[in-house]
Amino acid sequence: MVIRELFCYPKHLCNALVYVILRRIKKWFLEKSDILKGLADATIAGDTEKAVEWAKKALEAGIDAYEAIMDGCSVGMNVVSEKYEKGEMYVPEILCSAEAMYAALEVLRPHLKTATMGVPKKVVLGVVRGDIHDIGKNLVKLMFDAAGFKVIDLGKDVPNEKFVEAAVKEGADLVGLSALMTTSMVNMPIVINELKKKSNKAVTMVGGGTLSPELAENYGADGYAKDAAEAVKVAKALLTGGK
Amino acid sequence: MQDRMSSTERMGAVLMGQKPDRVPVNPFILGFAAKICNLPLGDLYTDPKKCFRTQLLCAEMYGYDATPMYAYASYGAWEFGGEIGMPYEEGQSAPYVIKHPVETPEDVDKLEVPDPKTAGSIPVSMGVGKLCYEHGMPVVFQSGEVLSPAAMIAEPSRLLSWMIRKPEVVHKLNKKIAEYFVAVAEYFTSTFGADKCMSFAGGPVESNKLINANQFAEFVYPYMKEIHSKVLGMGVPIILEHPCSDQNKNLPYYQKLREELGWKGKYIWVFGPETPLERQIEIFGKHDVLMGNVDPPSFQFKDFDEIVALCKDNIERGIKNPSGYILGVGCELPPLAPPINVYAIMKAAREYGSYK
């Protein structure tokens, strides 16, 4: 088709315009899917520089920041989580993935529009009193962040009353308690009982090296996750199914 | 069954490849001893006399065969110039790191190998060692794997991330820790005589819950081999090796270690409950002693009969080891375990652990 013909025949002109627009849309979608894949891949590889690069490209291409996080970074972290469950990735690699994801989030977060996000579920998270082992809790935080939860991280060696205060103040949907030591995990039922008295909204989850599903039940927790990969699945099930 | 041997005779028999009257018991008790003796837990890690006496009394009361020792999992930070907190507060179970001495790669460059006579917990450990020596018991010093102390020195997440981002920094740090451990071994063996000493090695950061086997091969194995080789070379006859938690994927490297060191000395292996005794017998059975690995948290949360059953199962499997077996726990016995559950170990050893 030549240009002259286009101008001569309105029908052809119309077709050409549709063709151009479709190509543009196709190109945009291709570009978009490339960018989202780039974000996911950079997260999986723990490549911080690339993650930042793809996050900037996403914004330049007009991709909604929330979409970039959920369909890029979060997809990448899901792969990381699966690989961790299968024993294909270990904590050093996951920590690098976390660095990459948080670097991308730094770029994307200022551009988040509340309207597209909806209201995120709030999670209060911490390692119980007397315990300073926080690698597991940090991995859980990472997975929750990646899944779009709003995480209030209380840190490690957290006094029992601080969990309750934070849950009430923040209107938490879920409180996650972590412990590695048998001496510290006995604080879990104390916190859970207090939470039940003061905040009837929040569901509770426990986890950590020495915990078991039976013990979680004995402690009165609503949920138990054996590791960080499982934590988000359990949380989502608890929050959609209620207590 | 009535005991026919003293603890010293029983342990001695196992280590010499002979059959004792019944399986010896080492419940890996530290904090529990302080609790049972009504001693503030922090005192166990700061006062050598209390540390020794508490463990001795607890062993006497139950009749188990372990001798006192001084060790804790957060070892390294204090010794290399960091700050440590002692477990005086509720919920705490052992010393914990307040300030890690390394925060940047440059800190590793500046880090000096500490004097093994004065570093951190060494004076307390030496104090316990002297009391053990005076009572004719083996003197235990903490040495061995480098990655757990490296994590305490540099902060665990930072160190694990450096293993990917800055491996050369981790190697630099590990080298300094290895040098320190050898110096500690020299200090103890020159003080008491190598034949009176036992080296205790192991740590949780080497676990496959955190790192993979290739990372173990790169960041743990070469240093472990160097330290063990030098410690055995000094004439230390026994290494108490505790691959903490799940280290099933590292097993080929522990096997390689023993093979490459020509099965020199006697190892007492204390794996976590994740590693089946049958697999341990397959690898180490011709040469080394295995210490049982009953699940530690069970002692806190299960009842007497369940503990007896768990110990019975462990005995029936472990007693098949041709080079000896000690009934034990797969990591430190929980300090808050009900006292009757420690009696359950003794009951199981006496009822099901006799050698025919």
The residues spanned by each domain of chain A are 3-111, 119-241
pLDDT at A210: 84
pLDDT digits (tens, 9 = 90+) for B259-294: 999 999 999 999 999 999 999 999 999 999 999 999
**Nearest-CA neighbor of A137 among A150, A147, A124?**
A124
Query: Does any domain span residue B346?
Result: yes
Query: Does any domain span residue B1?
Result: no
pLDDT at A92: 96
Distance from CA of A76 to the nearest CA of B (A): 18
Mutation test of the interface with chain B: which of A139, A162, A182, A191, choosing the one with the most B Cβ atoms within 10 A? A182
Return the SS3 of B183: helix
Mean pLDDT, rounded, for A94-110: 95
Contacts of B31 in chain A (CB under 8 A): 183
Residue of A nearest to B96 (CA): A132
Kindly report the average pLDDT of chain B as a whole number. 97
The label of the residue with tokens 């499982």 reads A230
CA dihedral sign of residues A40, A42, A45, A46: negative
The label of the residue with tokens 């160190």 reads B159
Smallest Cβ–Cβ distance between A187 and the set B91, B97, B165 belongs to B91
pLDDT at A23: 76
**Inter-residue contact A126 to A163 (CB < 8 Å):** yes
Mean pLDDT, rounded, for B308-316: 98
Mean pLDDT, rounded, for A64-68: 93
Query: Does any domain span residue B326?
Result: yes
Query: Which has more confidence, A37 or A3?
Result: A37
Asked if B93 and A183 come within 8 Å (Cβ–Cβ), the reply is: yes
B104: contact with A, CB 8 A cutoff: no
pLDDT digits (tens, 9 = 90+) for A152-177: 999 999 999 999 999 999 999 999 99
Q: Which fold has domain A119-241?
A: Rossmann fold (3.40.50)
List strand residue ranges (DSSP E) for B59-153, in order: 83-85, 96-99, 139-142
**Inter-residue contact B147 to B208 (CB < 8 Å):** no
pLDDT digits (tens, 9 = 90+) for B117-172: 999 999 999 999 999 999 999 999 998 789 999 999 999 999 999 999 999 999 99
pLDDT at A5: 57
d(CA A24, CA B281): 67
pLDDT at A129: 94
Query: Does any domain span residue B126?
Result: yes
Residue of A nearest to B32 (CA): A183
Q: How many domains does chain B have?
A: 1
Query: Does any domain span residue B167?
Result: yes
**Amino acid identity for residue A109 in this structure:** R
Contacts of B97 in chain A (CB under 8 A): 132
pLDDT at A240: 87
pLDDT at A7: 53
Mean pLDDT, rounded, for B60-68: 97
d(CA B240, CA B221): 17
% of chain B residues with pLDDT over 70: 100
Contacts of A135 in chain B (CB under 8 A): 156-157, 160, 210
**Amino acid identity for residue A140 in this structure:** V
**Inter-residue contact B272 to B245 (CB < 8 Å):** yes
Position A1 pLDDT exceeds 60: no
Q: Which CATH class is domain A3-111?
A: mainly alpha
pLDDT at A9: 61
pLDDT at A6: 52
Mean pLDDT, rounded, for B207-230: 97
Distance from CA of A119 to the nearest CA of B (A): 31
pLDDT at A243: 45
Query: Does any domain span residue B2?
Result: no
pLDDT digits (tens, 9 = 90+) for B175-190: 999 999 999 999 999 9
User: β-strand A150-153 against A122-127: which pairing, if any?
Assistant: parallel
Which two tokens mark B302?
Answer: 């299960």
pLDDT at B90: 87
User: β-strand B96-99 against B83-85: which pairing, if any?
Assistant: antiparallel
Position B3 pLDDT exceeds 80: yes
pLDDT band of residue A3 (cuts 50, 70, 90) is: low
Query: Does any domain span residue B290?
Result: yes
User: β-strand A150-153 against B83-85: which pairing, if any?
Assistant: unpaired
pLDDT band of residue B249 (cuts 50, 70, 90) is: very high
Asked if B91 and A46 come within 8 Å (Cβ–Cβ), the reply is: no
Position A112 pLDDT exceeds 90: no
Mean pLDDT, rounded, for B18-32: 97
Contacts of B89 in chain A (CB under 8 A): 129-130
pLDDT digits (tens, 9 = 90+) for A119-143: 789 999 999 999 999 999 999 999 9
Smallest Cβ–Cβ distance between A182 and the set B161, B215, B334 belongs to B334
Asked if A184 and B89 come within 8 Å (Cβ–Cβ), the reply is: no
Contacts of B164 in chain A (CB under 8 A): 46, 92-93, 95-96
pLDDT at A114: 67
Q: What is the ipTM of this complex?
A: 0.94
Which two tokens mark B286?
Answer: 């011709």
pLDDT band of residue A115 (cuts 50, 70, 90) is: low
User: What angle, rounded to 10 degrees, do the helices at A135-146 and A228-241 form?
Assistant: 50
Position A72 pLDDT exceeds 60: yes
What percent of the residues of chain A are helix, what percent strand, and what percent coil, each to the nearest 5?
65, 10, 25
pLDDT digits (tens, 9 = 90+) for A8-36: 566 777 788 888 887 777 767 768 999 99
**Inter-residue contact A124 to A162 (CB < 8 Å):** no
CATH code at B115? 3.20.20.210
Residues of B numbered 52-91 whose beta carbons fall under 8 angstroms of chain A's beta carbons: which are they?
89-91
Return the SS3 of A39: helix
pLDDT band of residue B201 (cuts 50, 70, 90) is: very high
pLDDT at A61: 93
Mutation test of the interface with chain B: which of A80, A90, A97, A219, choosing the one with the most B Cβ atoms within 10 A? A90
Asked if A183 and B211 come within 8 Å (Cβ–Cβ), the reply is: no
Kindly report the average pLDDT of chain A as a whole number. 89
B300: contact with A, CB 8 A cutoff: yes
Query: Does any domain span residue B332?
Result: yes
pLDDT at B82: 98
pLDDT digits (tens, 9 = 90+) for A196-223: 998 778 999 999 988 999 999 999 999 9
List strand residue ranges (DSSP E) for B174-329, in order: 197-203, 238-243, 266-269, 289-291, 325-328
Distance from CA of B209 to the nearest CA of A (A): 7
Segments forming the whole domain that contains residue B16:
7-352
